[in-house]
Amino acid sequence: MRRLTYVLTEIGAHVWLKVAVVGMTTLVIMSSIQFFQAYDRYLEHTQALTENFGSASSIRFVDISAESISSKDILAVIDEGQALFGDDVYYYLQGGDFFAEADAFVYSEGPLAIENQFGQSLVQPQIVIMNQALVEKADFRLANGRQLEERDFAGSGNGILLGAHYREGYQIGDDFLLQTFVEISEAGQVMTAERTYQVKGFLTEAHSLLNFWQGRTEEILLDEMIVIPLTEDLVQSDSDNLSVQIMGFFYMLSAKEEEALNYLDLAEAVKEIGARHGYSYLAFSNDRSIFDFEINMYRSLYQNQLFLLLLLLVFATVQTGMIVHFSFKKRQSVYAAYIGMGSTKAEIFTVISLHYLLLFAVAWALLYMSEQLFIKENWLSRQVAWGTLFYLTFYGLTVLTILINHCFPGRKLGKLLQMRKGGEVG
């Protein structure tokens, strides 16, 4: 009974040590991947912001009125704003007045559909509507076709760009039918008018773009997007919904120009512009403060993740080193017996190293299954690769350092073997 208890205790201790290595390794690999994920996100947003803005600021107008507002002369508001903030202005429509037939080849914003006066079921496609300056600044990358040109923005131009996924259903030169909102009839029916566009080009696969035109730092994927030029007839629409919320615009200022602004005086001047054109509470905001806040947030996230990773790394290195050390000490007499039977130190070193490499692989597989079933963070392949290799380097150095110290310390195992042989002779 004592022998059985001893054997079970030895097996339990051995298993527990291996479980501890696997568990801690899994935790550190996950933390390492999350660090690279956070750092990757910080770099993406910082680089995208630098490419589009550098150190510049963007000033946009907002109407903070809660009342129902009527049609406004947006172009007049933009022109008067240029006297305050300069001529570098970009504007766009939010796209809420555009629809497509539900059974057409189109990627919609969601499953919600409406019915127009002709009984057609309509959905809202994913679109961006920009003026020429904003399209040029966005610098869309094309797989084929041509960029939108000046003639596409004049009058009732009809050229559009489509995201990469639309290549399955359209070709360059094909017509693309959209419905534009006209009004709601007295009977409560949605009235729309059909408008035909022509496909001029397709964006490259997985083309993403910083959503700077809405004052945000997150990137949006354009594979299912329709890029429509903001033509003169769209700008001069009589829609009752045309307001600074629907037609957004912003002015670009250099850092030096922004520093020279007198915000109190400008607030009064913008309010007066609004009053002249029907806006009760027209104000302005500087997107730079929003951008800087978000970038600082992403920086803090990756720095906090780095701090956590370093703590786990120290603890895991100490834990793994101690387990490798005590496991080797526990089996030192067994290894000496193997040497006595003809095995070399190099062979024992290799077998033990592969054993701990296998434990690392088990930990990685456990993390992979956990991510697929529970965590579901959608890590990118490069983040997984960098995170795994980062900890594998520390893990490998720890294991190899301890094993080299034990397997090739001079002649410790040799002396132990000689003592055992001497005892047998005696």
* Cα(296)–Cα(224) distance, integer angstroms: 30
* Residue-by-residue pLDDT tens, the chain, 426 positions: 655 565 556 567 678 889 999 999 999 999 999 999 999 999 988 888 887 788 888 998 888 775 544 556 777 888 999 999 999 998 887 656 788 888 888 888 777 788 888 888 888 899 888 889 989 988 899 999 999 999 998 877 789 999 999 999 999 999 999 988 778 887 778 888 888 999 999 999 998 887 777 777 777 889 999 999 988 777 665 555 455 656 778 899 999 999 999 999 999 999 999 888 888 888 998 988 888 888 999 999 999 999 999 999 999 999 999 999 999 998 888 888 888 898 999 999 999 999 999 999 999 999 999 998 888 888 989 999 999 999 999 999 999 999 999 988 765 445 545 555 555 544
For residue 356, the model assigns a pLDDT of 96
337: left (phi over 0), alpha (psi -120 to 50) or beta: alpha
- The CA R_g of the chain, rounded to the nearest whole Å, is 33
pLDDT tens-digit series, residues 182-210: 788 877 788 888 889 999 999 999 988 87
DSSP 3-state of 70: coil
- CB 288, CB 263: distance < 8 Å: no
Where do we find the tokens 């507002």? Answer: 69
Reading the block at residue 137, the tokens are 């600044």
Would you say 175 and 251 are in contact if contact means Cβ atoms under 8 Å apart?
no
User: Nearest CA to 197 among 145, 163, 241, 162?
Assistant: 162
- 377 three-class SS: coil
| CA 269 – CA 233 distance, rounded (Å) | 29
Distance, in Å, from the CA atom of 242 to the CA atom of 236, rounded to the nearest integer, reads 9
Instruction: Give the pLDDT of residue 420.
Output: 54
Q: Which residues lie below 8 Å from residue 183, measured CB to CB, with a gap of 6+?
A: 191, 240
Q: Which of 192, 176, 205 is nearest to 239 (CA)?
A: 192
Q: 3-state DSSP call for residue 405?
A: helix
* Burial (0-12, 13-18, 19+ Cβ within 10 Å), 366: middle
Tokens at residue 195, please? 């408008």
Q: For residue range 116-139, what is the model confidence (pLDDT) as tens digits?
A: 888 888 888 998 888 899 899 888
The confidence score (pLDDT) of residue 413 equals 45
Hey, what are 42's tokens? 């910080």
Total H helices, total E strands in the chain: 12, 15
Name the residue among 56, 34, 28, 106 with its Cα closest to residue 291. Answer: 56
Q: Which residues contact 72 (CB under 8 A, 6 or more apart)?
A: 242, 243, 244, 277, 278, 279
Q: Which two tokens stand for residue 183?
A: 């009004």
Per-residue confidence (pLDDT) for residue 244, from 0 to 100: 63
Compute the distance between CA of residue 390 and CA of residue 313 in angstroms, rounded to an integer: 10
| Collapsed DSSP state (helix, strand, coil) of residue 96 | coil
d(CA 49, CA 55): 9
pLDDT recorded at residue 425: 45
User: Are 379 and 371 spatial neighbours (Cβ–Cβ below 8 Å)?
Assistant: yes
Selection from 307, 321, 293 nearest residue 400 by Cα: 321
In sequence order, what DSSP letters do the residues of 109-168 get, joined into one string? Answer: SSS--EEBTT--EEE-B-EEEE-HHHHHHHT--EEEE----HHHHSTT--EEEE-GGGGG
Nearest to 89, CA basis, from 148, 122, 132: 132
pLDDT of residue 238: 53
Report CA torsion sign: 419, 420, 421, 423: positive
Phi, psi of 408 (to 5 degrees): -130, 55
Structure tokens of 297?
A: 């947030």
**CA angle at 113 for the pair 112 and 116, rounded to the nearest 5°:** 155
CB of 210 closer than 8 Å to CB of 217: yes
Among 225, 200, 203, which Cα is nearest to 95's? 225
Chain centroid to CA 273: how far? 38
The CA-CA-CA angle for residues 308, 360, 6, to 5°, reads 105
